[in-house]
Amino acid sequence: MRVSTRFSDSIHLLAFLKIYADQRLTSDLIASSIETSPVVVRRLMGKLRQAGLITTTPGSAQPALAKPLDQISLLTIFYAVEGDKPLFAVDPKTNPDCIVGGNIQTVLQQYYQDAQTAAEARLAKTSLQDIVDNILVEQAKKEALS
């Protein structure tokens, strides 16, 4: 698994805050939707809070989105919870006395960065609003069938 489910779970969490805004948003309730533990949820919320995406109140179950949905992109969320690690890793330890080993890192770095940037540009195009909209559409489809 390349990128941990932290990213996926964080999107889930933020969408949950919006769609169930009328509920008491305890970490327990959120955890039951993600099917994880409340501690994992609180840790995720900690990262999202540090990134300025949500506000929380210690002791009180009232997390809230800090920005409008359409101003939170998937890329913003990605950086909040996973952004410190590159998607593609360059082997940092190769033989500097070899023509290949001595130059491969420099060469790969640029191509890897290009590929990562292309993926990030895609993530930047999608907002949490798109995610929430799509979730509601999918839900409506299900209900139409039942």
Question: Among 12, 14, 16, 27, which residue sits at the site for DNA (rule: CB under 7 A)?
Answer: 27
Cα gap 109→112, rounded to integer Å:
5
Contact 75/120 with Cβ under 8 angstroms? Answer: yes
Considering the rule CB under 7 A, would residue 1 count as an interface residue with DNA?
yes
Cα gap 53→71, rounded to integer Å:
10
Question: Among 58, 99, 100, 141, which residue sits at the site for DNA (rule: CB under 7 A)?
Answer: 58
Nearest alpha carbon to residue 82 among 1, 3, 2: 3
Considering the rule CB under 7 A, would residue 45 count as an interface residue with DNA?
yes
Q: Which of the 8 DSSP states describes residue 103?
A: T
- Window 80 to 139, contacts with a copy of itself (CB under 8 A): 85-91, 93-95, 98-104, 106-108, 111, 114-116, 118-123, 126, 130-131, 134-136, 138-139
C-alpha separations of 7 from 2, 13, 21 in Å: 11, 10, 21
Nearer to DNA, 94 or 129 (CB): 94
Q: Which does 99 bind (CB under 5 to 8 A by kind): a copy of itself, DNA, none?
A: a copy of itself
C-alpha separations of 133 from 6, 21, 74, 140 in Å: 21, 15, 14, 11
What residues line the site for a copy of itself (CB under 8 A)?
A: 1-5, 7-9, 11-12, 15-16, 19-20, 32-35, 74, 85-91, 93-95, 98-104, 106-108, 111, 114-116, 118-123, 126, 130-131, 134-136, 138-139, 142
